[in-house]
Amino acid sequence: MNSIDLHVHSNKSDGSYTPTELVDYAVQKGLSAFALTDHDTIDGLVEAMTYAASLEEAPEVIPGIELSTEYEGKDIHILGLYIDFQNEDFLRHLKNFQNSRELRNEKMCAKLRERGIDITIEQLQQAFPEAVITRGLYAKYMYNTGQIKSMAEAFDRYIGDNAPCFIPREKVTPEQAVALIKSAGGIAVLAHPPLYHMSSSRLDSLVAK
């Protein structure tokens, strides 16, 4: 095993597999390591790491997270790798991230209902139990309930950065996320840069911060 994947989600956020299933999948694919980097939550780490430790041959499970931030009006995601997920200061700040997301979700659901979409926080939580509710899960829910024709339609018409139902989160800057990750002994990495549709100079400016 010599391949690694440093950006993996479980069903604790918007992935499809449980943390245990991800370990099995990584074994199947021959990975030597993968980072579990769920959105704004560490809830799957203990399960994945405990299960991997019980196997004779298993990939290294790198404790990680993907923190959601805002930069120049865009949602920007920062990966934290090799974090100390038991660090008390980290956990306290992470709770603030989660509270901000919950408030934003309430407002976004209200906007969607104004546009005729049948959706509530309770419906999302029932459809995706134990998961952190992300915009990807909004899209999946609307698609699964037949309210849109494709996942892309959810972002184009409703919840994309410039769409009418988008609610920006309480401003957490990339710099704050990086500082939080470093305070927990982690390595901060900008997630999926091409998705931000930024020029090279803007990306360079963001990374330089």
CATH number at residue 55: 3.20.20.140
Mean pLDDT in residue range 73-89 = 94
The total of structural domains in the chain comes to 1
Token pair 């990584």 is at which residue?
26
146 has a pLDDT exceeding 90: yes
Mean pLDDT in residue range 53-65 = 96
169 has a pLDDT exceeding 80: no
**Alpha-carbon gap, residue 7 to 36, rounded angstroms:** 7
**Alpha-carbon gap, residue 194 to 69, rounded angstroms:** 16
Give the pLDDT confidence of 187-207 residue by residue, as tens digits.
999 999 888 888 888 877 877
78 has a pLDDT exceeding 70: yes
Structural domain including 50 reads 3-208
